[in-house]
Structure 1
Amino acid sequence: MSKGRRRRGVYLLPSLLTISNLLCGVYAIVAVHNDEYTRAAIAILIALIMDGLDGAVARLTNTQSDFGVQLDSLADLVAFGVAPAILTYAWAIKPYSKMGLLFGSIIPTALFVSSGAFRLARFNVQTRILDNRYFVGLPIPAAAAVIASFVLFMRESPSLILFQRELLSDRVTSALMVVIVYALSFLMVSPLRYRSLKGIEIKKRQPFALLIGLTLVVSVIASEPGLVAFFCFFLYAMSGVIRMIPSIRRHVSEPVEHVIGGEGGP
């Protein structure tokens, strides 16, 4: 009887971290409703940290479960699907609703949430058959982090505040945000492969230089958090496209070489 009860229970620590991820997403939605866009962006980035911690804790304590996987996906859809989509709509799309159907409507917002839901469902189905070193499609937390860090950079960058001016006009920023949302939606449902960080061994001894390097990285992030975060997450989003370029070149060059070889034959 006691064994059966343990099977029906949940692992408390990773589940609490997952719920924290979910609550950060709920807070972000409420913050957007109150026109607190910076707080909403920060809440999404905190949710990203909680999402990374729950998986790391589950692996370190060997408390992984199917229940945890499903709960994590539901929390991710709220924190990294619905919350950033609402943030994007309220901050960049709704104020300029006359820019055109594809730019000033709810279409990009709905597409982002739908693509995120598809991405999570595909991951749950394929999680046991794919190489765990890679993700297929851009992970939804990374897509949400691109949006949140972009909002944070445009609203709170110390260099922009110092010069008391905006880097881009409001309309250009709005259009750029919509383009980013469309691009992220495509990358989430694409077959592109992205490197997973799950294989990093944090329990093993690491070189002392790595600690110095991480200290330097933290210092740089502290000086320009919005810019550095957006730059890092944007590079990760583009890494799947960059990884695909060599294979495209091979597919393009192979038929040409075949034709040239055929013409040069006897």
Structure 2
Amino acid sequence: MSWEDLPYLQKKWIKTTAWFLANLFTLGNITFAIVGIVFTFINPENFNYWFAKILAICSILDFADGKLARISGSKRLAIDIDTIVDAFAFGVFPAIYLGYVVAGWETRQSLAILAGVVTGLAYLGAVWYRLYRFVRRDPLYTPYFNGLPSPFAGMVVACMVVFPDTDVWVIMVSTFIISGFMLSKIPFPSFKGVPSKFDLYWIITTTLLIVLFAAFPFNWMIYPTYGISTYMIVYLIAGPGYAIKLEEKMEEEKEEKEE
């Protein structure tokens, strides 16, 4: 079921409000991404926590503006603008941070710098190609993503840097694994349509964990990180099968309408 199938959401004032909020959240997303990039160069104390918080906020704003855009009936231009914002928030920002962290590896300086550049470029390239492939499809009405969505990949990085004593080589190897998942064509649920009861439960609990992750003080952030990590593992393992079922359900509903 799509948002257009819900009559009470077709009122003009609801669509206008949704359009305004969607654009406001998109603006907030790019603003936080730029703040995060500036912070990376300043490198304030406990920046790994600030990085994780900013990325979590960007993830929340991205999810919210996507839902609101669909309710408002946004057209292709809005999709393209949102994709450009995602390229910065979940591509450039994490890539610069990853490059900076890996370049600080306690090994030969020239080797560490090279590793940082390669890691950052690999992540950025995966995100950008993933987004390019995304906009070539019909992103408003697909029940699943081809490859791991970039906000999810960003939250994986955010959780990694919050876990205490995470070695640089672990971050580097994990980055390449995440990039591989983004480049793959493995289907993952998009939760774009009107949510079922299970979808609603998943969306609410995941959002709550990410909000706590962003709101908690530094010394408490580890607690929601465990919950987010558990959800990530479930999504990676069970997500592809659930995405296929969603597509089959959509095809059945389409056939019923045609009949």
By the TM > 0.5 criterion, same fold? yes
Following superposition, the deviation at residue 65 of structure 1 comes to: 1.6
Structure 1 residues 121 and 91: alpha-carbon distance in aligned structure 2, compared to 1, 3 A threshold: same
Partner residue of 1:16? 24
**Partner AA of 1:143 in structure 2:** A
SS at 2:108's partner residue?
Answer: coil
- Tell me, yes or no, if structure 1 residue 27 matches structure 2 residue 26: no
Structure 1 residues 72 and 184: alpha-carbon distance in aligned structure 2, compared to 1, 3 A threshold: same
CA distance in 2, matches of 1:45, 1:27: 13
Equivalences, count: 209
CA distance in 1, matches of 2:235, 2:142: 17
Q: Which runs of 5+ in 2 are unaligned?
A: 1-18, 243-259
Task: Name the TM-score, length of structure 1 as normaliser.
Answer: 0.67
Give the 5 Å matches for 1:53-92.
53-60=64-71, 62-92=72-102
Structure 1 residues 174 and 13: alpha-carbon distance in aligned structure 2, compared to 1, 3 A threshold: same
Following superposition, the deviation at residue 74 of structure 1 comes to: 0.6
Q: Which runs of 5+ in 1 are unaligned?
A: 1-10, 155-165, 245-266
SS at 1:135's partner residue?
Answer: strand
Give the 5 Å matches for 1:147-162.
147-154=157-164
CA distance in 2, matches of 1:214, 1:140: 20
**Partner AA of 1:112 in structure 2:** Y
Most deviating of 228-237 and 190-199: 228-237
Identify the match of residue 175 of structure 1 among 166, 169, 175.
169
Partner residue of 2:122? 111
Give the 5 Å matches for 1:169-248.
173-201=167-195, 214=205, 224-239=223-238, 243=241
Contact 1:22 1:79 in 2 (8 A): yes
Q: C-alpha root-mean-square deviation of aligned residues, in Å?
A: 3.4
Give the 5 Å matches for 1:93-112.
93-96=103-106, 98=108, 104-112=115-123
Structure of larger gyration radius: 1
- Tell me, yes or no, if structure 1 residue 43 matches structure 2 residue 54: yes
Identify the match of residue 136 of structure 2 among 119, 125, 138.
125
Structure 1 residues 97 and 193: alpha-carbon distance in aligned structure 2, compared to 1, 3 A threshold: farther
Contact 1:93 1:105 in 2 (8 A): yes
Structure 1 residues 26 and 98: alpha-carbon distance in aligned structure 2, compared to 1, 3 A threshold: same
**Partner AA of 1:176 in structure 2:** V
**Partner AA of 2:131 in structure 1:** L
Contact 1:14 1:57 in 2 (8 A): yes
Following superposition, the deviation at residue 229 of structure 1 comes to: 2.2
